[in-house]
Structure 1
């Protein structure tokens, strides 16, 4: 296991914890959900053989602290955090970016706000539900989650949220949640500790986000939208696939479901490398790094 270099970065309203390992073109990994830098432990070491891999805890999660713990959370601010990481670790050079779930939403905004800093974005199941024809239904879901959190508490709100993400007519729990690798299981306490912040701040702030589709159309050659092989029909997959269709780009499938990064880390990492290699982004970023 590679021992990462650990640092902290002061940004607007927060201090970010980050970790860097490896050599080569910068690959910034943006976590989603309640995952922080540790959610990439299963793939970071292998990727570090070819890249400088940077991971971090998003503001308010794990070791990244907020100046105001009650502050509302906005996609643009989280994307600016990612931009500040790029400026710190790869000043002036376009980088490779992977974002998962809510982290993929931040990655989409990063691409539209700072395209000159991004060689390629791989966005795995960003739940950009505002692009869907039935977006109004999902606005109701978000309101229901917030109201349930206020009146009944965390776990009932999580139940409402999870039910809204499942395939239509599917009353079972997602298969990806049944068994976790040891590293993921060890993060369970941290995950539970961050849930109130995630449900109360991240879910409403991110799932109400509408990406600039017209802007993304002009940048689609730098964007790879992806979903899990086991996810078709689930809300984040539907949103990502619909966006790919609107942009006229190929939709990639990763092993596992929405949390394939956690349940199938080796296969997930290998598929990511294949996408970057086949797209030519890896070579382009490497050439710029060598200049």
Structure 2
């Protein structure tokens, strides 16, 4: 029965590809079940980075009344890079998002964007606000807005340098420790002992690969992105910055608070943590039912 249900769900997903500059993008469309006599609702685009479409299966299941679009960012899962570049910028990702929205012919859309996806979505609205009706930007980790930005930027640069030098295990251990750390980074953060990969169940041996989308491709450019607040304020889009109720004090939560302040708004507090919408994807569990309700309330507010 479970296999049949999964097959039925997959049969309803329209998977497409399109060519972008330097990448072939793969995206999915889940048609909504709203009756033809009811008023049309803007499609909902669910965006992560480097999280791909597979991370939004649970959240999408709470919006079967709407057309839901998901995609794999360039360099992840099914979206293959063709330019050989080592890094991607939020501006490149924003142009990819534009291409998907225009290819679907769905704009303006509502957007829920989380983590690096929220950074990319801010870049999208700054450049193409006419394509977005409402953006809910959930914990965008742009450290440029933090009071401790210099130390935080050095921390992020160190993670990437560790990845290039030692491989995924040591770098991911640092990333996890940094992500859940509460409060500002001190100037002497480099004097602290490096976390052990084994403590997080990560490999201690370097396999030689350097193609990780998070550690190699997006980390430095995402965290180093400076939002164009003038363009965001001038855009026709409604922007709501959201933060997790359980992630207070963490880097992405703190950045979200600062982004909201720069826009002259208060952040919306969503249930759970940084991955609060997850329902077992990647082995992580949030509070997806409560999270989806909060998202629906904001979108309909």
TM-score (ref. length: structure 2): 0.79
Shift of 1:220: 8.3
1:219 is displaced (CA, Å) by 3.8
Note if contact 1:120-1:224 (Cα within 8 Å) is conserved in structure 2.
yes
Unaligned runs of 5+ residues in structure 2 are 33-40, 186-191, 201-208, 279-285
Answer yes or no: is 1:77 the counterpart of 2:92: yes
Secondary structure, counterpart of 1:249 in structure 2: coil
Structure-1 residue corresponding to 2:277: 261
Alpha-carbon deviation of 1:69?
4.0
Partner of 2:72: 57
User: CA 1:220–1:250 in structure 2 vs 1: closer, same or farther (change >3 Å)?
Assistant: farther
Equivalent residue runs for 1:142-291 within 5 Å: 142-165=156-179, 166-168=181-183, 196-219=212-235, 222-262=238-278, 263-278=286-301
Any unmatched runs of 5+ in structure 1? 179-192, 279-291
Q: Mean alpha-carbon deviation: is it higher for 118-127 or for 152-161?
A: 152-161
Match in the other structure for 2:155: 141
Higher helix share: 1
Asked if 1:108 is matched to 2:104, the reply is no
- Quote how far apart the aligned CAs of 1:198 are: 1.3
Structure 1 stretches of at least 4 aligned residues deviating more than 4 Å after TM superposition: none
Give SS of 1:47's match: coil
TM-score in terms of structure 1 length: 0.82
* Alpha-carbon separation, structure 1, partners of 2:300 and 2:169: 42
Larger radius of gyration: 2
Instruction: Give me the whole-angstrom Cα distance separating, in 2, the residues matched to 1:116 and 1:215.
Output: 12
State whether structure 2 residue 111 is matched by structure 1 residue 97.
yes
Aligned residues: 256
In 2, distance between residues paired with 1:196 and 1:6? Answer: 24
Q: In the alignment, is the contact (CA less than 8 A) between 1:220 and 1:249 conserved in 2?
A: no
Aligned equivalents of 2:244 and 2:166: distance in 1?
32
- Asked if 2 retains the 8 angstrom alpha-carbon contact of 1:21 and 1:45, the reply is no
**Which of structures 1 and 2 has the larger relative contact order (alpha carbons within 8 angstroms, sep 6+)?**
1
> What is the distance in 1 between the residues matched to 2:54 and 2:125?
24
